[in-house]
Each structure stands twice: as structure tokens, then as C-alpha cells.
Structure 1
Amino acid sequence: MKFLNSILDVLSKHNLVLSLAKSDFKKRFVGSYFGIFWMFVQPIVTVLIYYFVFQVGFKAAPPVNMPYVLWLIPGIVPWFFFNEALGAATNSLYDYNYLVKKVVFKVSILPMVKIVSCIFVHAIFIYILFGVYLLYGEMPSIYWLQCIYYSFCTFALVVGLSFITSSINVFFKDMSQIVNIALQFGMWLAPIMWHYSMMPEKFLWLIKLNPVYYIVEGYRDSFITHVGFWNRPLLTLYFWVITGIIFLVGLKLFKRLKPHFADVL
């Protein structure tokens, strides 16, 4: 019951979260001549690098009959969101330390503020993803709308993880560096640049243990194979059980450490 009350309490502050997220989003570009343009430079350059290395250089062929870039983008777009959101949310308590020290402020919404701010950028990338597929002559499909569901999956997973990493980061400042290194490894551990069929069958279950696998393959199901998430019931159940456990552990850890945040910050 306490767990449910905590979730409802956070959800009741959705207007405040949205307001702070908009402010955070705008604050990133204060004093920048090109503004929001810089938000997309690195991801787009990353996609171009992988395109030239794997398709032009190594002549890599995706497991489906389509250009490599159409196979790559649905996998890498959710990763950009996951990567940026977790990194930003981990440092959220430091970035908003002046709010942490306010007695009446709901500190638990701060990681969500950073994540919602990242959703604005992710939404634009979704539009770019639609545009790329249309430019290549792909016909729109109702399955494309599944990206909304898988974006929510990413949001839920990041919120749970950020409760853990942001609370620990207050007392152990190296946590943000550990998260950055883990994300660098995570990009290659998840089947983003490569297909899971390249793994030996006996090790395939290890790849599927990674909840990001569900999200990446879900995006590809939406744009490439047109498979509904309801057609993967066991994988869907596993993802939400793991995400729920992470969320529960993260929320409890956050609540236990919260009384000491103001003293340390």
C-alpha cells in the first residue's frame, strides 16, 4: 500500500514535473547560438559513422531485405533516449540541489524532470524516424504507433534505474562515471549494431535477460517486422516484472536515503 501511495503521490505532481522539464529543456540552450541544433548533432553524426563503417566499409547486410540504415535507426533511437535520460537523471539531485534543501519540496520528482526533458528530444527523433522511412518509400503502418508503448517502457525502466543511481550519486560521486562507462558497454551488449542471431544459440538467453533487448527489438518489431508486443507475451511479462522490481528497489532506496540528501548536498 505504501508503494502504491508513493507512485500516486509522484503522479499527482505531474504538472510540476512538466513545468520543470520544460524549463530544463530550454535551459540547455541558453547562450547557445545554434540552440536545439546541438542536441541532434552527436546522435546524427553517430548514425552516419555507423552507416559508413558497417554498410559502406564492411558491406554489412541486415537480417532483413532492406538498407542497413533502416534496420539501424529503430534500434539506436530508443538507445539515445535511454542513454541521455539515465545519464541526466543520475545527476539530477546535484543539478537541483537548491530544491533538495527545501523541506516541503517533493525530491523524488527530480529524476523524472530530467527524463521528461529528454522525452521532448526523443519525440523529435521519432518524427525523424518516420521521415527516414517515408523517404525510403516505406508505407506507414499501424504498428509504427507501437513506438509510443515502447517509449513508455523505456521511460519506466529509466525512472526505476535513476532512483537507484541518483540517490547513490549523492554519497558516491563516482556513480555518474560508472553509469557513463556502463552505458558505453551497454550499447554493444544490446543488439543495436548487430543482430541477436549472430550469438550462439546457447548464449541467446543471456542477451534476452537485458531489458533493453525488449525495447530495441520492440522498435524493430514496430517498424520492420510488424509484430505486436502481445505476440511476445513471455518477453513482455519478463520485462515488466524486472522493471517493476527495479522500480520498487529504486523507490525504497531513494526514500531511505532521502533524509540525508540535504546534509550531503
Structure 2
Amino acid sequence: MITSIFKEHKGFGKQIFLLAKNELIKTYKGAVIGPGWAVVKPAFTVFVYWFAFSVGIKTMKTMHVNLGSHDPFSIDFFTFMFIGIIPWFFIQDSIIQGAKTLRTNRQFITKVKFPVSTILTYTAISRLYVHIMLMVLMYAYVIFAIGPSWYNLQFFFYCPLMFMFFLALSWSTAPMSAFSKDFESLIVSIMSGIFWLSGIMYDSYSFQEPLKFIMLLNPINFFANGYRNCFLYHRPFFYYKTELAVFLAEFIFVFALGIFNYNRLRKKLPDVL
């Protein structure tokens, strides 16, 4: 009965609040700002939802697509979303699991002499296998809904580029996450926000300047648009030259930063883990 529950609580008020405080501290143990994450995450989420529903999805209606010499036609929102969300599944796992890789495979670092960089590589390849299987399903749908095109071959440009970009990113995030639980918590906390701030659910090309240019600074947006260039818009990868130039600059930066951070931190990893 409900009264028995109340009786169990009687006289334990102080202990309950003390244990609640300890539980919160234990949850965020090892993080510099501690329970502050409980406030930061929902605050960021509120901002993200405001952006997504006030700026992004608000502009979405039926998609009008022009396929080269063919007459423009309308495409349903599901097809638009489906093509953009397939690379997101790979990107999301690459960012979150890539940052956790060294912690989850610490036995190869502390107990076995195993090259650290190869751990990051083989886990990234395992995620690529899943991506290829999802791509087969997505392409079957594309053939049915839109039809094949030579532009579809650009997948072999975007996919390896996406793999290398997020592998290089893990060269920085994995060692840093091994050193700081705060950094790992930050990545996990912001991922849902990154989803809504990227052009997964809406067409960033439809934005007005300067927001349209700001969206070009998001590399995830580059791949969402890239896959749609392959399978929906039927545009060459160099169609938006500014977008391509911005991404290539980011790729070089992430690659160089990854090499620097990996070489700087790898020798200290066995002691940290």
C-alpha cells in the first residue's frame, strides 16, 4: 500500500537528500564542473530546439528538385531526410565512439603492446561496414524513388573523405577523452544539438546570408549536402565551390591537429588508462 511507502520514508528525510546529492556527484565524478553538466546540457538543448524549429524546419515544405536537363519535380520530405540522415549515423558513431575508443580498448594499451593508432583505425572501419550496409538499403530506395544517375558515383568521393575526416578527428578526441572525462561528457552532451544544427532535417541551401555561409562552416553539413548532391540534386561535387573550399581547409586543419595531438599524448596514455 501507498502508506507503507510513506512510512519507509519517515525519519529518513535528511539521509535521502544527502544520498541524492552524493548520487549526483557520483554521476559526474571526474568532471571538472561536476553537476554543472546537469544544467549545461538542457540549456544547450533548449537553444538547439529554438534554432531547429524557428529557423530550420520552419522553412521546409515540399522539396523542388532540378535534375539536370529534366524538368524540376517535387520530392517528399522523407526522401530528402532519408538521404541526409544515412551519413549522420556514421558521423554520430564516429564522433561518440571514436572519442571513447581508447578507454573501451584500454587493455590493448596497458597490457598488450599494440599500436594505439591502429585501434582507432580498426574501430572506424567497423563503423564503415555498417555504413556500407545502410547505403545499400538507401540506394535501393533511391533507385525506386528517383532513379539511378552517373552523379551517384560521387559517393566514392564523399564516403572515403568522410571516413578520413572523422578518423583524423578521433586522433585528437580519443587521447583527450582518455585524459579528461569532462571532454568525453562534453561530446556526448552536444551530439543531439549538433544533429539539429546540421542540415540533416532541413535544406541549408535555402537559408539567407549570412546564415547560409555560417552553415558552410559545419563539416557535417558538407556531407549531408554531399550525399544529396549524389543521390537527390544530381550536382557535381564542385557545384558549390565555396562550400568545398571551406571543407578542404577544415580537413587539412583537423588532419594536422590530429597528428599533433596524437603524437603529443600517445606516450602518456598507458599511465592515464
Length-normalised TM-score, structure 1: 0.73
The aligned residue for residue 114 of structure 2 is 105
1:220-243 alpha-carbon deviations (Å, 9 max, x no partner): 111111111133334323212211
Q: Please say if residues 89 and 112 of structure 1, whose CA atoms lie closer than 8 Å, have aligned partners that are also in contact.
A: no
1:130 paired residue number? 139
Partner in structure 1 of residue 260 of structure 2: 252
Task: Sort the Cα spacing of 1:134 and 1:103 in 2 relative to 1 into closer, same or farther, 3 A.
Answer: closer
C-alpha deviation, 1:201, in angstroms: 2.1
Using the alignment, how far apart are the partners of 1:92 and 1:135 within structure 2? 38
Q: 2 CA distance for matches of 1:209 and 1:109? A: 29
Asked if 1:68 is matched to 2:73, the reply is no
Distance verdict in 2 for CA 1:144–1:264, change over 3 Å: same
Aligned to 2:155: 147
| Runs of 5+ unmatched residues, structure 1 | 1-54
Q: Which amino acid aligns with 2:109?
A: V
* 1:79 counterpart letter in structure 2: W
* Aligned-pair identity (%): 25
- 1:60: Cα distance to partner? 4.1
Matching residue of 2:174:
166
Letter matched to residue 227 of structure 1: R
1:92 aligns with 2:101: yes
Deviation (angstroms), 1:150: 1.0
Give the CA deviation at 1:244: 1.4
Tell me if structure 2 keeps the 8 A contact 1:153–1:215: no
Three-state SS of the structure 1 residue aligned to 2:199 is coil
Secondary structure of the structure 2 residue equivalent to 1:230: coil
Q: CA RMSD in A?
A: 2.2
Structure 2 residue runs without a partner (length 5+): 1-56, 66-73
Q: How many residues align?
A: 209
2:15 is matched with none
Larger Rg computed on CA atoms = 2
Are 2:247 and 1:239 aligned?
Answer: yes
User: Structure 1's 241 and 69: CA in aligned 2 closer, same or farther, altered over 3 A?
Assistant: same
The one-letter code matched in structure 2 to 1:166 is: A
- Give the counterpart letter for 1:67 in structure 2: D
* Counterpart amino acid of residue 95 in structure 2: L
Supply the distance in 2 between the matched residues of 1:135 and 1:229 (Cα, whole angstroms): 23
Relative to structure 1, the CA distance from residue 100 to residue 59 in structure 2 (aligned partners, 3 Å threshold; closer, same or farther) is closer
Alignment correspondent of 1:29: none
CA distance in 2, matches of 1:78, 1:175: 24
The one-letter code of the counterpart of 2:135 is I
Q: Distance in 2 between matches of 1:199 and 1:250?
A: 32
Query: Are 1:229 and 2:230 an aligned pair?
Result: no
The CA deviation at 1:69 is: 1.5
1:189 corresponds, among 194, 197, 212, to: 197
